[in-house]
Structure 1
Amino acid sequence: MFPAVWAARTPEKPAIVMAGSGRVLTYQELEDRSLRLARHLRACGLEHGDVVALLTDNRPEAYEVYWAALRSGLYVTAVNSHLAADEVAYIVTDCGAKALVVSADVPAAATLEVEVADRLAYGGEVAGYASYEEALAAAGDEPIAESHGDDLLYSSGTTGRPKGIRSPLPEIAVGEPGYVYPLVFGTTYAFDDSSVYLSPAPVYHAAPLRFGGVVHAYGGTLVMMERFDAEQALAAIARHGVTHTQMVPTMFVRMLKLPEDVRASYDISSLQCVVHAAAPCPVEVKRRMIEWFGPIIEEYYASTEGMGATAIDSATWLEHPGSVGRPIIGIPHIVGEGGDEVGPGEVGAIYFERNDRSFAYLGDATKTDAAKHPEHPSWTTVGDVGYLDEDGFLYLTDRVAFTIISGGVNIYPQEIEDLFSLHPAVADIAVIGVPDEEMGERVAAFVQAAPGVDPSPELAAELTGHARDRIAHYKVPREIHFRDSLPRTPTGKMVKRRLVPDPQEGEPR
């Protein structure tokens, strides 16, 4: 279903509540405003399969744009609001957007130089943009043909320039069953019209955007945080009686590092399901979250490309710690360096076999072809590395691009990073390989020290010793570089291409 159904049944029910400001958008308002925007876009010449780009912070209007696109057979491209104007311009131009909707509070909006026929701004005036509110008010009353649109999102660009991921539009009407996200995730996590979903992450990212759509398909209420804060997330859960939420592991870590009395002061008993995804979760972090929240932690592994997915619940994870579960979409295959499928326990590239859906990297046939197995075109990969156990459970080890090869031995940075996820002196850590004349590459760690901790040679020695006591010595970082902050995306992914050792730095060993 979609908002029109719920607007008819429960028009005054909140479709969206902003956790900070308390602003509410009802289902009737979401229906009316998304329909008006759809009419406006049609009047501006957008046709089935065209693209509307969205550059926004977390605001209810984001879902007006989302549902306007989905109900009228358009693609919606939500753009990372933290990008510089030139980076935004690349995406808006690359996706071929014919309309651009921006929030006045996004800095890049005012200096963005792109050729787009229709430009709208909400939340304030922006030079060069028409008023979003005036456009909605002026929209006509003519009906529109309600085909089904989709998102056209861009990769996070952690290993290179972002690429658009486009799949064929669904061959159903917007109100008909069969759209993949409500169908799979709605049933997997038992969403219904009583669900209250807390979304703490930026709405431009695939999972928050899509899960918000799932909530609306089932008639629940989406509670959107303006930005994530560990204590404020707990406060929102208690205040709104949140039943579902989705977080990334870095959010778990920040919540676990809250003082015990702060954590205990909020009533989280309404929670029925806490989903995590987007990045691997250290085993000890997840174990402690299950101890705190109870056996309601659910995990899925997927990608923006939609090439496959796995899922696992708390009880099963405790029996298979570290696993991201068994497949719920597609069939996983582990492929070795020679291109052949390998057996249980052997590490290789993760491919998913799927014959019912395809995708393409927009404007990059080379990258699209590279994602496919040369002998099995229905097998695709996003570059993650892992293995399957004897029971068919999938485990992640890292991304191909991040694997360190030192002296001919593969080293997976994720294993080293996980060692420090809950270390009291470490706020954040990233491990990469740097060139080494003798070994090819050596292990280097970039560390953001915890507040109040002095980033000193003594701390470097302490961290090196911590690793040496717990993993093979060849995996221990040979050098540690301290930074005031590390380049994570707001969804928790580390942008490792931005990590560069300073030649002037000492190299604690």
Structure 2
Amino acid sequence: MNIFEHGLDQCQANYVPLTPINFLKRTADTFPERIAIIHGKEHISYQRFQIEVNRFASALVKRGVKKGDTVAVMAANIPAFIEAHYAVPMTGAVLNSLNTRLDAQALAFILDHGECDVLLVDMAYAEVMKTALALSSRQPLVIDIVDPECTQATARIGELDFDTLLNEGDDVFDLHLITDEWQALALNYTSGTTGNPKGVVYSHRGAYLNAIGNALVWSLSDVPVYLWTLPMFHCNGWCFPWSIVAVGGTQVCLRHVEVNSIVAKMNEHQVSHFCGAPIVLNTIMNAESSLLQSIPRGIKVMTAGAPPPAAVIKGMETLGFEITQTYGLTEVYGPCVASEWKSEWDDKDSDERAALKARQGVRYPTQEAVDVLDPETMLPVPADAETIGEIMFRGNTTMRGYLKNETATEQAFAHGWFHSGDLAVKHPDGFIEIRDRSKDIIISGGENISSVELEGVLYQHPAILEAAVVARADDTWGESPCAFVTLKADYVLSEDEVISFCREHMAHFKVPRSVVFSELPKTSTGKIQKFVLREKVRSLFG
């Protein structure tokens, strides 16, 4: 029997487009009195959360927002930003989360390129957005978000404030504007360290699936209390505004990522989960001992953004945190690869555990394919933990493409895979481990040297706070490693001592031939700007 000949077609009863905004209605219906959001002294129930989202969405529609419009948000991690992750896509519009660390010129480019129609501005960022609007050709409806937790007094720049907008809306909003799960839900811009940022377009389907993937790989159960240390503008907070609602958890807002505030929130609200780049974990590890002693044990941490050195993972676990290492990019909705733990590793010592957890891991259940391929032949590399290839993705949690950039989209999707640009090896157990960005690998005397591997060794030194490695020209070897090192407070270290330490812990040809002590330049998302370091190398060494 051929079932396709019997009229079993898609209909309203058996098909509804996947969208993460449906998570809220289910949780609000089931747990209306449960606390959804905590911000300062304010505790917002799921019932109230749903009503405010309905008001937000219906007010936008009354103001003329329609399917395909762009609604941009420039805000800290506050309730209005969480609500925007539901209200904006409910209208069929596209949510454009703006990076709060960008300058006015970059923001103006994004407003123009993304064709901003409505702009919500947290008053802490009013000045930079005022300048960006003056540089932009767009004239969006500007709405001020006046947050009681914001201590920066600035002049209003909007036509109205957020509370006034909500008062224009209705408690019930039931327009069915999501007609296709391939509809654009969000627009996120890459860091743009070497030129204008690229606009990455997310679909409702992809966001739904990656949000579910987060819940599956990170054991989001038993009503998690999630602390917003991760910037919500970064890949839509790695899809966690939707993941936490899907499981009925509580989101604790945090305006400033500062270690005293982080620890205070952990204790005050019995935080169970938080996300952060390795730099955030390093900041916590190096806090004052009296503060470290007050941190509750057993808090689950998801880290991504840059490969965390095993020493950082070991240090955090010594403090009682449970680390899950993940990997992803803006183009794949944030993390979609996780270092899944296996019970047979439980008896390994702390160094072995940290080394295993430092590997990027295996694909989420919601990402169809992730592999390490030879970019020339497009064949998988051997699973020998040595052969380097490029990490590539294929599946539903891969972006729709780059907005208004067909050439970049075609290049990214060449041969039917998304090319990450990250170089990695594949272990015999199938776990992948990053060795470098393709542009960061150091080729010395014909041998490949992984800057990530060398950085991992440097982080093991008790005096080193941060480290980054780039190539420098070498008359003998073509290239050799140059290490940039930031020391911990009250420590003194010489170049020879750093080099000697490295020689004790790795093959001698991989050891840096020069060491520069300095602060490390970082992108707006906390990643080290290696292109700045390369320029510094050229100025120092020619």
1:365 pairs with 393, 401, 406, which one?
Answer: 406
CA contact (8 A) 1:333 1:351 kept: yes
- Aligned partners of 1:460, 1:22: CA distance in 2, in Å? 50
Amino acid at match of 1:139: G
Amino acid at match of 1:433: A
Amino acid at match of 1:344: A
Q: Deviations over 1:33-62 (max 9, x none)?
A: 222221232223322232211111222111
Q: Deviations over 1:359-401 (max 9, x none)?
A: 211122222122224xx31x11221110112221111111112
2:532 pairs with 487, 498, 501, which one?
Answer: 498
CA contact (8 A) 1:78 1:204 kept: yes
TM-score by length of 2: 0.82
- Aligned partners of 1:433, 1:80: CA distance in 2, in Å? 30
- Aligned partners of 1:40, 1:466: CA distance in 2, in Å? 62
2:359 pairs with 320, 323, 336, which one?
Answer: 323
Structural mapping, 1:370-381, within 5 Å: 370-373=411-414, 376-377=415-416, 379-381=417-419
Is residue 424 of structure 1 aligned with residue 444 of structure 2?
Answer: no
2:115 pairs with 89, 96, 100, which one?
Answer: 96
Task: Give the deviation of 1:426 after TM superposition.
Answer: 2.3
Equivalent in the alignment of 1:472: 507
Bigger helix share: 2
Structural mapping, 1:389-468, within 5 Å: 389-436=427-474, 438-453=476-491, 459-468=494-503
Equivalent in the alignment of 2:167: 137
- Aligned partners of 1:27, 1:275: CA distance in 2, in Å? 25
Is residue 197 of structure 1 aligned with residue 232 of structure 2?
Answer: no
TM-score by length of 1: 0.87
- Aligned partners of 2:419, 2:47: CA distance in 1, in Å? 41
Task: Give the deviation of 1:116 after TM superposition.
Answer: 3.4
Q: Deviations over 1:94-142 (max 9, x none)?
A: 2222211111101412212231332111126433543222222233578
- Aligned partners of 2:165, 2:328: CA distance in 1, in Å? 37
- Aligned partners of 1:209, 1:350: CA distance in 2, in Å? 19
- Aligned partners of 1:215, 1:182: CA distance in 2, in Å? 8
Amino acid at match of 2:223: S
1:222 pairs with 228, 239, 251, which one?
Answer: 251
Cα gap change, 1:187/1:422 in structure 2, threshold over 3 Å: closer, same or farther? Answer: same
Amino acid at match of 2:427: D
Amino acid at match of 1:45: G
Is residue 244 of structure 1 aligned with residue 273 of structure 2?
Answer: yes
- Aligned partners of 1:306, 1:27: CA distance in 2, in Å? 29
Is residue 82 of structure 1 aligned with residue 101 of structure 2?
Answer: yes
CA contact (8 A) 2:225 2:251 kept: yes
Q: Deviations over 1:65-110 (max 9, x none)?
A: 2211132222211111011011111112222222111111014122
Cα gap change, 1:366/1:435 in structure 2, threshold over 3 Å: closer, same or farther? Answer: farther
Indicate the SS of the match to 2:505.
Answer: coil
Cα gap change, 1:146/1:453 in structure 2, threshold over 3 Å: closer, same or farther? Answer: farther
Equivalent in the alignment of 2:391: 350
CA contact (8 A) 1:384 1:400 kept: yes
1:281 pairs with 278, 291, 308, which one?
Answer: 308
Q: Deviations over 1:427-481 (max 9, x none)?
A: 2222112344554433222222322345xxx622222222222223332223223
Cα gap change, 1:182/1:42 in structure 2, threshold over 3 Å: closer, same or farther? Answer: same
Task: Give the deviation of 1:158 after TM superposition.
Answer: 4.6
CA contact (8 A) 1:238 1:268 kept: no
Q: What's the C-alpha RMSD, in Å, of the aligned pairs?
A: 2.9
Cα gap change, 1:462/1:434 in structure 2, threshold over 3 Å: closer, same or farther? Answer: same
- Aligned partners of 1:367, 1:161: CA distance in 2, in Å? 12
Q: How many residues align?
A: 489
Q: Which runs of 5+ in 1 are unaligned?
A: 172-177
- Aligned partners of 2:172, 2:326: CA distance in 1, in Å? 42
- Aligned partners of 1:471, 1:358: CA distance in 2, in Å? 38
Amino acid at match of 1:16: I
- Aligned partners of 2:325, 2:106: CA distance in 1, in Å? 31
CA contact (8 A) 1:385 1:396 kept: yes
- Aligned partners of 1:254, 1:158: CA distance in 2, in Å? 24
CA contact (8 A) 1:330 1:353 kept: yes
- Aligned partners of 1:314, 1:344: CA distance in 2, in Å? 19
CA contact (8 A) 1:55 1:81 kept: yes
CA contact (8 A) 1:468 1:476 kept: yes
Structural mapping, 1:110-189, within 5 Å: 110-113=130-133, 114=136, 115-123=138-146, 125-139=155-169, 143-148=173-178, 150-158=185-193, 160-170=195-205, 179-189=208-218
Indicate the SS of the match to 2:275.
Answer: strand
Amino acid at match of 2:359: S
CA contact (8 A) 1:153 1:166 kept: yes
Amino acid at match of 1:248: A
Amino acid at match of 1:166: V
- Aligned partners of 1:161, 1:434: CA distance in 2, in Å? 26
Task: Give the deviation of 1:502 after TM superposition.
Answer: 6.9
2:53 pairs with 25, 34, 37, which one?
Answer: 34
CA contact (8 A) 2:54 2:171 kept: no
Task: Give the deviation of 1:505 after TM superposition.
Answer: 5.2
> How high is the sequence identity, in percent, across the aligned residues?
27
CA contact (8 A) 2:339 2:431 kept: no
Equivalent in the alignment of 1:174: none
Cα gap change, 1:236/1:23 in structure 2, threshold over 3 Å: closer, same or farther? Answer: same
Q: Deviations over 1:149-186 (max 9, x none)?
A: 62221223355542111134439xxxxxx921332112
